Amino acid sequence: MKSMAEKSVLVMLAFWLILITLSLTGCPAQNPPPPDNTDSGTPGNTETLDNAAMDPMEGMPDGPVRIAFVPSVEAGAIETQLEAFDAKVSELLGHPVESSVVLSYTACIEQMAAGHFEVAMLPSSAYIMAHDRYDVQVRLKAVRNGSPTYRGQIITRTDSGINTLQDLIGRTFGFTDAASTSGHLYPKTLMIENGIDPDKDLAETTFIGSHQAVVLAVLNGRVDAGATYDDARDRLLETEPTVMEQTKVIAYTADIPSDTVSLRADCTGPFYDKLIEVLMTISKEGTDSPFYAIYDIEELVPAQDSDYDPIRRMVETLNYDIEADLN
């Protein structure tokens, strides 16, 4: 049996062993380790959470991003630009991109809703229908001549005898596409506001296609007058150097919110945010930008749905059925 002295020695030895162990391992209660930055659930770990939120891979499609272009110029003029455009966007995005030309806005919207395109270049009236029907979201709008708005014009040959809107009565007229804002909707509105019913007062109306096709139809006498964006004739100066002398503008429309870069409703998240940034970057390359070569766009800037409320008000005021025009 151990004496009291021996027991005291054993207790002291045990006490010193505990102290030595604590000095080597540290005391969690008194000296907590720094937060584990690999644990995304740790409060205060904002850097890791921000990085995760900005992961450019989030939302990335399995296949290439598909972008639809609808011609406001001849389709062939767009197609010649698409290979270089796709290569540039793919490189900056780090993901393949495939662009296609769709020949009508109606077809473009329906194909987008069916999942064939993630992105589309849509004019303002077509965007409104796409948004209202399929929740397509505008992300960017075009800047031309330093402005995010533009206007339509009505042109005729200088020798047509047409000098005012009233002179259009009983004459033939060419629009572009039924969904085109500057090539149909606003010029039609302009006529109605001036007491002309295009469906009754004009001898004939026809949808010709691109804006340049309308200019050529006027120039060649196929129609007496036509509607285009201001000034679509510039595109033809190289092949038709006298177009400005042989045609004239008789009226301009009100300002129109510019065309859009719009995304399908389910195309959200950091990956598509990065895509939008890439498209803005490319648009800032001036005359070297494919956007300039295709659509005369000087720059793409952020847009929101409310930017297109003026067109909604116009449609409501004039009781226009955009969907009927699109179809």
Q: How many other β-carbons are positioned within 10 Å of the β-carbon of residue 24? A: 7
Q: pLDDT tens digit string along 97-139?
A: 999 999 888 899 999 999 999 999 998 888 999 999 999 999 9
Instruction: Give the β-pairing of 119-122 and 260-263.
Output: antiparallel
| Cα dist from 7 to 2, 10, 18, 43, whole Å | 7, 5, 17, 49
Residue-wise pLDDT tens for the chain (327 aa)? Answer: 444 444 444 444 444 444 444 444 443 333 444 334 333 333 333 333 344 345 667 788 889 999 999 876 555 668 888 999 999 999 999 999 999 999 888 899 999 999 999 999 998 888 999 999 999 999 999 999 899 998 999 999 999 999 999 999 999 999 998 878 889 888 998 999 899 999 999 999 999 999 999 999 999 999 999 999 999 999 999 999 999 999 999 999 989 999 999 999 999 999 999 999 999 999 999 889 999 988 889 999 999 999 999 888 878 766 777 766 655
**Whole-angstrom distance, CA of residue 89 vs CA of residue 205:** 40
Any idea what the Cα angle at residue 127 is, between residues 125 and 133, rounded to 5°? Answer: 105
Contact assessment for residue 105 and residue 177, using Cβ atoms and an 8 Å cutoff: yes
Q: Contact 123/229 with Cβ under 8 angstroms?
A: no
Domains (ranges, CATH) in the chain?
65-148+257-326 (3.40.190.10), 152-254 (3.40.190.10)
Please list the alpha-helical segments (H only) found in 26-114: 46-53, 75-93, 105-113
Query: Tens of pLDDT along 12-45?
Result: 444 444 444 444 444 333 344 433 433 333 333 3
225: β partners: 156, 173
Write the single-letter amino acid at 152: G
Which residue, chain included where needed, has tokens 């303002």? 124
